[in-house]
Structure 1
Amino acid sequence: MLASIALPAMIVILIGTTVSGMPMGIAMIVSSIFYLLISGRDVGLASEQVLNGVFGNFVALAVPLFIFAANIMNAGQITDRLLKFSLALVGRLPGGLAQVNILTSLIFSGMSGSAVSDVAGVGKVLTNMMIEDNRYPRGFAGAITATSSVVGPIFPPSIPMVFYALISSTSVGALFMGGITPAILIVVVLSLVVMVIARRRGFPVEVGVPLRALPRIVLRAIPPLLMPVILLGGIYSGAFTPTEAAAVSAFYALLLAMFAYRTLSLVQFWGVVVSSVRTTAVVAIVLCGAFIFNYVVAVERVPQAVFLFFDQFELGWVEFFIMINVLYLILGCFLDVSTIMLVITPLFIPAAAAAGIDLHHFGIVIVFNMMIGLITPPYGILLFIIKALNGIPVAEMIREIWLFVAVLVALLMVITFVPELSLWLPRAAGLL
């Protein structure tokens, strides 16, 4: 009798603990252990699933290493050189600083793989530059900073794609390669939108960089610009795995900050280590909760039930993707990325495969969906980070963000229904 109500009881406890304010990782652990108790299973299975998940997934080690690399770059002022480089390239375009914001996010994404790191690092600096002397409305500055950071986890390397590879048994290298074209498309379209807005609202154009200063700016930016080249070149040449690439990126960032530029002191380095450990601990708790929770889901054959539910409607891949996009856009308004990726996504992977969808393409669409959720009210975590760092009221950013959300959703539809945009590069590289 108790075993029959174990799964519903677990779901009720999960929802209740989450609503009460308990962190999602701990809520998953608590509810899953309750399931083991009430279903009569050995509670020791919880530890077993955590250990198997941690030691059986070498790719998971990439996450803390990318976090560490991003923190080093922010603390070591490496991003300042990237900012000046972007300013020299696109500062003269309409909406100059907004254009710099977009381009710098693309470049920074080739090093960190995190939207939050982008907003907290170079995004913070650029937002302050934009609102200085009321050059741009505060809401617009915050909105474009949040929107441009969306490209971070789509362009390689990408922490969410590492998570997706973990739960779907897909190739991290193919996912990274598949994100390049969509990321560039996002940057180009956002740049065009900003041009139109800048002309209509009379936003300023930046003073051009003298030609004699350009070589020096480019030379100063080359070392950090080489990081994504080293990362991707190493992965696709077979020199190292994606996890080893994360270690290389952290080590390279450390060499630049501490020894080449001497902008990171030992005291600052210790602060980076502490900050990285804290962030990694939060991620690890969520991962541990997901390992136990997904064990319960597998035991109860929930993915198979989801598959059978969709199978009865005989949905094609187009109808399936429409349903997934609507669902994920709604979920993104209320849930964080780790919850959607580690708890919700595994339920739909078998159904996606059965619908004839390439799981690498599916992963890129899912990640893009979740990135839109980062800027969509009421959750919109990036908006709240900008408020905390730059003091811009969330209400002002929300008024400006809707146009960018609409543009990103339109791009999501294009990337969803034109699979070759995501798959042609991995196929050309022989990864699929």
Structure 2
Amino acid sequence: MIWTLAVLPIALFVLGFPVFTVLLAAGALTMALVMSVPPLAVHQILFGGVENYALLAVPFFVFAGELMSRCGVSDRLVLWIQSFTGHLRGSLGVTTIASATILGAVSGSSPATVAATGRTLYADLLKARYGRRFSLGLIASSGAVAIVIPPSIAMILYGASGEQSISKLFIAGILPGLLISLAMAAFVVLWVRLRRGDIGRAGTEIAEAGRMGFRAATVHSAGALAMPLIVLSGIYLGVFSPTEAGGVACLYSMLLARWGYRSLTWGEILEAASDSAYLTGQILVIVSAAALFSWCLTVQGVPQALIGWVQQADLSPTVFLLTINAILLVLGCFIDPTSAILVLTPILLPIVKHLGIDPIHFGIIMTVNLSIGMFTPPFGLNLFVAQSVLKADIWDVCRGVLGFFLVQVATLMIITYLPPLSLWLTTLL
């Protein structure tokens, strides 16, 4: 059991095998060699892993995010934010973070958010003398909040694999997501004020925003701003479930892209649907493989053994959360959030419940932690997205994210040890 569930996955991962292959091979070999389970059972567990109603929201939100990221939403959001912050020094850096936050609520995709904000704002950041490394780090790190601000694919996967309320996870993610954005904005403003010269001074920002008043910019951006409000208010008021909210977001995005902004043709919408289907397939393959791997871990008694170890070590919730945060920060450098959540949730959640930690709060901690991994060297996906989209040197991107990494880790500690920040809004449901 040790070599098939521990040594083999690590060896395959080091050799560069895809995550779903690692999980599938480890699970299948464990069932065949250790448990002597018939092949038909493997088939049943693989398909059983995706037979979850909550997962139906995944293709809807993925498709909605694809449409919104292609229809010029980022340009409109930037002009809207600059319309009321453009007169302040450092407003363009704050605009980058704010637009990434709203784009995250619209698309739910961290790489898509990095690509959109990078294409829209990178040249203006350089023009405003923010510096190449700082600008690259700002763009790569600000996209991480996309998987924390609801609606979030990561939260859907956590809720599905851990049998937790996705509605509560969405609501619980609002304040932590906003706190991350505010902390990063404060860091940018402080950095600008400590620098000499004309860095980020008013008048070096986006010129178009100065010619468009707040009211006109709000009307111009209303379609994009409305989508997260419709989704979250509908869930909060009980009008529809998170899965149904995905369908609503999908329909709204299509209507907005085709007839509202008239920015996409039917051919481009079909292309977005094709890309969404491909991405959804990637996610569901990992879901199936993780279900098989998790089933083997459970049957072999791994979660129960870990609970026994925690009892023997007499770990307090405080020490446990600190340890898990450290482990997740390291894993996040190498493993994408989807894989990490699907593999680790069934292992960690029994321990979390045993220690009396709220599973919803732990889901937010896990999501925030893994979002940091999206821009942490050496393999954070956002680093390579920023490098590719902005034609930058990867070492400049890596050095640029250091300050933002420290800010987000500090924010993670606040979210970890201040549960009401995540849970207060859920009590109002």
Contact 1:7–1:35 under 8 Å retained in 2? no
Alignment-derived partner of residue 41 in structure 2: 45
Query: What is the one-letter code of the residue matched to 2:53?
Result: F
Contact 1:94–1:194 under 8 Å retained in 2? no
Query: What is the one-letter code of the residue matched to 1:24?
Result: V
Q: Determine helix, strand or coil for the equivalent of 1:367.
A: helix
Query: What is the one-letter code of the residue matched to 1:70?
Result: G
CA shift for structure 1 position 207: 5.8
CA shift for structure 1 position 10: 4.2
Contact 1:156–1:176 under 8 Å retained in 2? yes
223 and 213 in structure 1: CA distance in 2 versus 1, 3 angstrom threshold: same
How far apart, in 2, do the equivalents of 1:321 and 1:413 lie?
A: 10
Answer yes or no: is 1:107 the counterpart of 2:70: no
How far apart, in 2, do the equivalents of 1:29 and 1:172 lie?
A: 27
Q: Percent identity?
A: 32
How far apart, in 1, do the equivalents of 2:248 and 2:156 lie?
A: 16
Answer yes or no: is 1:91 the counterpart of 2:113: no
How far apart, in 2, do the equivalents of 1:316 and 1:265 lie?
A: 57
Alignment-derived partner of residue 120 in structure 1: 115
Q: How does 1:7-18 map to 2 (within 5 A)?
A: 7-18=2-13
Alignment-derived partner of residue 23 in structure 2: 28
Contact 1:63–1:159 under 8 Å retained in 2? yes
Q: How does 1:161-310 map to 2 (within 5 A)?
A: 161-201=155-195, 202=197, 203-204=199-200, 205=202, 206=205, 209-210=209-210, 213-310=213-310
CA shift for structure 1 position 12: 3.0
Contact 1:377–1:398 under 8 Å retained in 2? yes
Answer yes or no: is 1:158 the counterpart of 2:155: no
Give 5+ residue unaligned stretches, structure 2. none
Contact 2:365–2:416 under 8 Å retained in 1? yes
How far apart, in 2, do the equivalents of 1:314 and 1:83 lie?
A: 50
11 and 319 in structure 1: CA distance in 2 versus 1, 3 angstrom threshold: closer
Query: What is the one-letter code of the residue matched to 2:163?
Result: S
CA shift for structure 1 position 123: 3.6
Query: What is the one-letter code of the residue matched to 2:63?
Result: F
How far apart, in 1, do the equivalents of 2:324 and 2:376 lie?
A: 17
Contact 1:128–1:390 under 8 Å retained in 2? no
CA shift for structure 1 position 210: 4.7
How far apart, in 2, do the equivalents of 1:207 and 1:293 lie?
A: 50
TM-score calculated relative to the size of structure 2: 0.94
Contact 1:361–1:422 under 8 Å retained in 2? yes
Contact 1:139–1:393 under 8 Å retained in 2? no
How far apart, in 1, do the equivalents of 2:117 and 2:46 lie?
A: 35
Contact 1:92–1:207 under 8 Å retained in 2? no
Alignment-derived partner of residue 316 in structure 1: 316
134 and 235 in structure 1: CA distance in 2 versus 1, 3 angstrom threshold: closer
How far apart, in 1, do the equivalents of 2:348 and 2:119 lie?
A: 36
Query: What is the one-letter code of the residue matched to 1:22?
Result: F
Query: What is the one-letter code of the residue matched to 1:50?
Result: L
Q: How does 1:74-85 map to 2 (within 5 A)?
A: 74-85=69-80
Q: For this pair of structures, how many residues does the alignment match?
A: 422
Q: Determine helix, strand or coil for the equivalent of 2:424.
A: helix
Give 5+ residue unaligned stretches, structure 1. 1-5
Contact 1:352–1:359 under 8 Å retained in 2? yes
CA shift for structure 1 position 325: 1.1
How far apart, in 2, do the equivalents of 1:103 and 1:90 lie?
A: 11
CA shift for structure 1 position 397: 1.9
Alignment-derived partner of residue 362 in structure 1: 362
How far apart, in 1, do the equivalents of 2:145 and 2:4 lie?
A: 39
1:265-317 deviation per Cα after TM superposition (whole angstroms, max 9, x unaligned): 12211221221122112111111111111111111111111111111122221
Q: Determine helix, strand or coil for the equivalent of 2:292.
A: helix
How far apart, in 2, do the equivalents of 1:221 and 1:65 lie?
A: 22
1:144 to 138, 145, 155: 138
TM-score calculated relative to the size of structure 1: 0.93
Aligned Cα RMSD in Å? 1.7
How far apart, in 2, do the equivalents of 1:189 and 1:71 lie?
A: 28
1:217-276 deviation per Cα after TM superposition (whole angstroms, max 9, x unaligned): 110111211111110111122211101111111111110011111100122112212211
1:370-412 deviation per Cα after TM superposition (whole angstroms, max 9, x unaligned): 0111111112221111101111112112222111111111111
How far apart, in 2, do the equivalents of 1:354 and 1:176 lie?
A: 24
How far apart, in 2, do the equivalents of 1:375 and 1:280 lie?
A: 22
Q: Determine helix, strand or coil for the equivalent of 1:152.
A: helix
Answer yes or no: is 1:404 the counterpart of 2:401: no
How far apart, in 2, do the equivalents of 1:235 and 1:275 lie?
A: 27
Contact 2:171–2:236 under 8 Å retained in 1? no
Contact 1:74–1:122 under 8 Å retained in 2? no
How far apart, in 2, do the equivalents of 1:282 and 1:247 lie?
A: 20
Answer yes or no: is 1:393 the counterpart of 2:393: yes
How far apart, in 1, do the equivalents of 2:322 and 2:398 lie?
A: 26
CA shift for structure 1 position 104: 0.5
Q: Determine helix, strand or coil for the equivalent of 2:401.
A: helix
Alignment-derived partner of residue 3 in structure 1: none
Query: What is the one-letter code of the residue matched to 1:354?
Result: H
**Deviating 4+ runs (over 6 angstroms):** none
CA shift for structure 1 position 17: 2.4
Q: Determine helix, strand or coil for the equivalent of 1:312.
A: helix
How far apart, in 2, do the equivalents of 1:88 and 1:100 lie?
A: 10
Contact 2:61–2:153 under 8 Å retained in 1? yes
127 and 45 in structure 1: CA distance in 2 versus 1, 3 angstrom threshold: farther
